[in-house]
Chain A
Amino acid sequence: MSDVTVPTTKRAKKAAEGPYGKIGQAINELDDRLGVAKGGRTFMDKIFPDHWSFMLGEIALYSFVILLVTGIYLTFYYVPSVAHVIYHGSYKPLDGQSVTQAFASTVNISFAVRGGLLMRQMHHWACDIFVGSIVVHMARVFFTGAFRKPRELNWTIGLTLMILAIGNGFLGYSLPDDLVSGTGIRIAYSIMESIPLVGTYLAFFVFGGNFPGTATIPRFFILHVLILPLVIIGLVTAHLFLLVRQKHTQFPGEGKTEKNVVGTPMFPVFMAKTTGFLFIVGGVTALLGAFAQINPIWQFGPYDAARISYAVQPDFYMGFLDGALRIWPSWSFASFGHTIPFEVFVPAVILPGIIFNIAYVWPMLERKFTHDNEIHNLLDRPSQRPKRTAAGVAVLVFISMLFIASSTDLIANFFHLSLNYVLWAMRFLVIVTPFIAYPITYKICKELQGVKGGGKRKTPNVVTRTVEGEYLATPTPSYSEDVMEELHPTPVPIFIEAEPDEPVESGVRTVDR
């Protein structure tokens, strides 16, 4: 007992705790048992290149976190059953109506559960942001060529994640069993039925019999809250693991090569940014959920095969499918006692199949055409690859036009046009606009290549007035980051073993790949 000195003064206590205080002690205790220091140091020293567009994927990641949190809250109150009950709740226009338990519980979440409506609306807005930000992130990856060797696998995983996100969004949208979503399920059933030979069997298998059936909602529920989220979590983990393993790409400039990664370390700079971003995504979702009403199912009422509402669209991420269905001419093939409804099969099965398959094989296609089998860690500027950029823009324009075609009736109503003319206009625009977009984008890219200092920030001129009254414009020197020069990296700090005398600077560093 006597050889152990118990620190008495404040200063002595602090000194006994070591340089990193109580947290440092706790980590030391953890390291003694689990050996987390080595891995933790590698992780915290991970260099992440600095560019604002590299954070777009985080919007998707964090909106997914919000989806999980709000979704868990909703599962406490949602009843996945199509058993009929008489609604007697606080929303008077539905009082006494026979509705399914799924619908009644969703209305109750909106009106009776504390915070339920906010959670429902945040969940729905987070879903819209989730799919939207995935598209924006994918566009960044595509136009900068980040999908090239060695990252083809991560492109495939990301694309699968987008399809799963769209699918799970549709399933979740169907769960309240309201008038609008019931119409959506009806269309999904017909799309499945339209597949030649196997369609009827497939639809019966998925829906557990004829539409609407009683199996739909429970099946969709378990897919929506368990199976697809698990697959998404698994694929997100793989996506991020590959990102860490292969290291992030970077834009060329300031000492960046194919062999190094220039950026800020994970801790503290990137950690601070990304944690802050999590809260910002949560905040924006909460603001939307609090102030913008989404999917007011109590106004739509319960689904009933006899009821239908005009001007019904799916959520935006299914819009391109709905638009394709709307504008496709009514061609079908009926012979030998069988009908193949091409007017459903082609726009709703073949077309999305072609679009997604092209996206899947694009990295291979590009390698084949460019004979470029090199490993690329430096990104392209979109203007440097005019053909790829133009093709991407053309496909985006095509999908956007299909998306716009899903609101032909609203366009006709808003601009006081004939619905038939709008329909025909969309048929032409869907085909024509990609062919217009391609050469325009190509030309813009070529022009950008020719601009001196293209891709660099413009520097302002300083205008001075001489004593004689003459005005002179003197250009200021260009930004230091835009000038290609050799970088002098600060050494990578060692947090655990050595104890530096001064606080570690968290500036730009270079490490070898």
Chain B
Amino acid sequence: MISSLARRLPLLLAVGFFTAGPLLLFVGPANALNYTQTTRRNAGTPNSTISVKKDGKVVKYGNKYIIYKAPSSDLDALGEALYMENCASCHGAQANGVPANGTSGAFPDLVGLGPATIDFWVDSGRMPAKDVRAIEAPRRQPALTPNQALAISAWVNSLSPSYPDIPTPNLKNANVAEGAALFALNCAACHTIEGDGDALAFDTFAPSLRHIPAFQVVEAIRTGPANMPRFTGNLSDKEVDDIVQYVTTEIQHPNNPGGFGLGGLGPVAEGFVGLLLGVGILVLICYWIGERS
């Protein structure tokens, strides 16, 4: 018996190792709550260097790169009224959404999403949606003011407090060069390297980043709206700050030392200019010269 166990020891060890390893991953986040340093894992949650409590609840936290601040609970009443007026018809009076049925798609449950999610969707004009059947609501002129958006997020958050709160990136501490490299690695695969956005499969799309304000970039990265993955574990607050700096400077205001930027469409626009303007003008000049003898 013992000998058979001894024979199987390497196997048992291996099984133990591979089952305990993933379990350790689950233990990790719980321990992380005690940390005061911002790590990759607790980014966007109140476990950071700066932490302000009010009535036993963390209302402001963050570090020198990004400060997350909970919307004031004074806005709750205004938020409830605005919610009932603008959102309740689809997401329900309790904000717990409507499941899919035969005639319409599902409207998602908003409880516990955190203020940044609600603020992002409302403040970027995506919600209230213009076309509720669209696969993905596009950015448009916001129907509600930034303060009204905050109020709605405050009320929805009061139902079941959660994170991340409304971020304010501190671009003074950002490094644009690191942001450029992180952008190429994490964002360019959908938003394109020039940040113009493009169509993805089945009616979904990656929106253009040309007109997004800095705090919404953080909100999008941390909450992952629509098809976008939610970047929490793999990007620290510093890295997000770097990306925001790159997006708000080089992407939104490219220097274009070579002349007109041609809309950032790359070789397609270049091909049209080269063929229609370059070859086109030369063919016309050819006609002009050639018809003179």
Interface residues of A (CB under 8 A from B): 50-56, 58-59, 92-97, 110-111, 117, 121, 124-125, 128-129, 132-133, 136, 179-180, 264, 269, 273, 276-277, 280-281, 284-285, 288, 290-296, 299-301, 304, 306-316, 319, 406-407, 409-410, 412-413, 417-420, 422, 508
- Is B244's beta carbon under 8 Å from chain A? no
A-B interface pairs (CB < 8 A), number:
205
* Residues of A contacting B281 in the complex (Cβ-Cβ under 8 angstroms): 284
Given A56-B283, A117-B258, answer yes or no on A410-B268 (Cβ-Cβ < 8 Å).
yes
Q: Nearest-CB distance from A66 to chain B (Å)?
A: 11
Beta-carbon contact of B188 and A308 below 8 Å: yes
> Top 4 closest A-B pairs, CB basis?
A52-B290, A316-B271, A128-B274, A293-B258
* Residues of B contacting A307 in the complex (Cβ-Cβ under 8 angstroms): 184-185, 188
Q: Nearest-CB distance from B21 to chain A (Å)?
A: 25
Interface residue from B179, B198, B203, B271 paired with A409 (Cβ < 8 Å): B198
Q: Nearest-CB distance from A47 to chain B (Å)?
A: 12
Given A296-B258, A410-B265, answer yes or no on A419-B282 (Cβ-Cβ < 8 Å).
no
* Residues of B contacting A413 in the complex (Cβ-Cβ under 8 angstroms): 197-199, 205
Beta-carbon contact of B270 and A294 below 8 Å: yes
Beta-carbon contact of A92 and B176 below 8 Å: yes
Interface residue from A111, A292, A310, A313 paired with B273 (Cβ < 8 Å): A292
Beta-carbon contact of B257 and A117 below 8 Å: yes
By beta carbon, the residue of chain A nearest B135 is: A418
Given A51-B290, A92-B177, A293-B258, answer yes or no on A316-B267 (Cβ-Cβ < 8 Å).
yes
By beta carbon, the residue of chain B nearest A273 is: B289
Q: Nearest-CB distance from A143 to chain B (Å)?
A: 14
- Is B291's beta carbon under 8 Å from chain A? yes
By beta carbon, the residue of chain A nearest B196 is: A311
Q: Could you list some 29 contacts between A and B, CB below 8 A?
A: A52-B288, A52-B291, A53-B290, A96-B177, A110-B258, A121-B258, A132-B278, A180-B193, A273-B289, A276-B289, A288-B274, A291-B259, A291-B260, A296-B261, A299-B193, A300-B193, A301-B193, A307-B188, A310-B189, A310-B206, A311-B266, A313-B267, A315-B271, A316-B268, A319-B271, A418-B199, A419-B199, A419-B203, A420-B202
* Residues of A contacting B201 in the complex (Cβ-Cβ under 8 angstroms): 419-420
* Residues of A contacting B258 in the complex (Cβ-Cβ under 8 angstroms): 110, 117, 121, 292-294, 296
Q: Nearest-CB distance from A396 to chain B (Å)?
A: 13
Interface residue from B181, B200, B266 paired with A419 (Cβ < 8 Å): B200
- Is B254's beta carbon under 8 Å from chain A? yes
Beta-carbon contact of A97 and B267 below 8 Å: no
Beta-carbon contact of A132 and B184 below 8 Å: no
Q: Nearest-CB distance from A13 to chain B (Å)?
A: 37
Q: Is the interface of A mostly helix, strand, loop or mixed?
A: helix
Interface residue from B178, B196, B289 paired with A277 (Cβ < 8 Å): B289
Beta-carbon contact of A316 and B274 below 8 Å: yes
Q: How far is the CA of A280 from the CA of B284 in the complex (A)?
A: 11
* Residues of A contacting B206 in the complex (Cβ-Cβ under 8 angstroms): 310
Beta-carbon contact of A285 and B286 below 8 Å: no
Beta-carbon contact of A313 and B268 below 8 Å: yes
| Contact residues of B between 127 and 145, Cβ < 8 Å to A | none
Beta-carbon contact of A129 and B286 below 8 Å: no
Interface residue from B262, B267, B290 paired with A315 (Cβ < 8 Å): B267
Q: How far is the CA of A412 from the CA of B204 in the complex (A)?
A: 10
- Is B194's beta carbon under 8 Å from chain A? yes
Q: How far is the CA of A410 from the CA of B271 in the complex (A)?
A: 14
- Is B256's beta carbon under 8 Å from chain A? yes
Beta-carbon contact of B190 and A93 below 8 Å: no
Interface residue from B246, B287, B288, B291 paired with A93 (Cβ < 8 Å): B246
Q: Type the 1/0 row for B201-214, where 1 means its CB is closer than 8 Å to any CB of A.
A: 11101100000000
- Is B91's beta carbon under 8 Å from chain A? no
Interface residues of B (CB under 8 A from A): 176-181, 184-185, 188-194, 196-203, 205-206, 246, 250, 254, 256-262, 265-268, 270-271, 273-275, 277-279, 281-283, 285-293
Q: How far is the CA of A58 from the CA of B283 in the complex (A)?
A: 10
Q: How far is the CA of A56 from the CA of B285 in the complex (A)?
A: 10
A96-B178, A97-B180, A419-B200 given. 6 additional CB < 8 A pairs?
A133-B279, A179-B193, A311-B266, A406-B268, A413-B199, A422-B199
Q: Nearest-CB distance from B28 to chain A (Å)?
A: 25
Beta-carbon contact of A111 and B257 below 8 Å: yes
Q: How far is the CA of A149 from the CA of B198 in the complex (A)?
A: 50
* Residues of A contacting B270 in the complex (Cβ-Cβ under 8 angstroms): 124, 128, 292, 294-295, 315-316
Interface residue from B180, B275, B279 paired with A94 (Cβ < 8 Å): B180
Most B Cβ at <10 Å: residue of A280, A310, A410: A310
Q: How far is the CA of A306 from the CA of B186 in the complex (A)?
A: 10
Q: Nearest-CB distance from A256 to chain B (Å)?
A: 14
Beta-carbon contact of B189 and A309 below 8 Å: yes
By beta carbon, the residue of chain B nearest A269 is: B293
Beta-carbon contact of B180 and A301 below 8 Å: yes
* Residues of A contacting B189 in the complex (Cβ-Cβ under 8 angstroms): 308-310
Given A121-B258, A420-B202, answer yes or no on A128-B290 (Cβ-Cβ < 8 Å).
no
* Residues of B contacting A412 in the complex (Cβ-Cβ under 8 angstroms): 198-199, 205
* Residues of B contacting A311 in the complex (Cβ-Cβ under 8 angstroms): 192, 196, 198, 265-266
* Residues of B contacting A300 in the complex (Cβ-Cβ under 8 angstroms): 193
Most A Cβ at <10 Å: residue of B202, B258, B265, B285: B258
* Residues of A contacting B179 in the complex (Cβ-Cβ under 8 angstroms): 93
By beta carbon, the residue of chain A nearest B290 is: A52
* Residues of B contacting A56 in the complex (Cβ-Cβ under 8 angstroms): 283, 286
Q: How far is the CA of A508 from the CA of B288 in the complex (A)?
A: 18
Q: How far is the CA of A53 from the CA of B274 in the complex (A)?
A: 19
Interface residue from A92, A296, A314 paired with B256 (Cβ < 8 Å): A296
Q: How far is the CA of A20 from the CA of B76 in the complex (A)?
A: 97
* Residues of B contacting A306 in the complex (Cβ-Cβ under 8 angstroms): 185
Interface residue from B181, B205, B266 paired with A313 (Cβ < 8 Å): B266
Beta-carbon contact of B279 and A418 below 8 Å: no
Interface residue from A94, A292, A508 paired with B262 (Cβ < 8 Å): A292
* Residues of B contacting A310 in the complex (Cβ-Cβ under 8 angstroms): 188-192, 198, 206
Q: How far is the CA of A344 from the CA of B262 in the complex (A)?
A: 31
* Residues of A contacting B257 in the complex (Cβ-Cβ under 8 angstroms): 110-111, 117, 293
Given A179-B193, A311-B198, answer yes or no on A129-B278 (Cβ-Cβ < 8 Å).
yes
Q: How far is the CA of A293 from the CA of B266 in the complex (A)?
A: 10
By beta carbon, the residue of chain A nearest B189 is: A308
* Residues of B contacting A281 in the complex (Cβ-Cβ under 8 angstroms): 282
Most B Cβ at <10 Å: residue of A59, A311, A419: A311
By beta carbon, the residue of chain B nearest A422 is: B199
Q: How far is the CA of A418 from the CA of B200 in the complex (A)?
A: 8
By beta carbon, the residue of chain B nearest A95 is: B177
Q: How far is the CA of A132 from the CA of B270 in the complex (A)?
A: 12
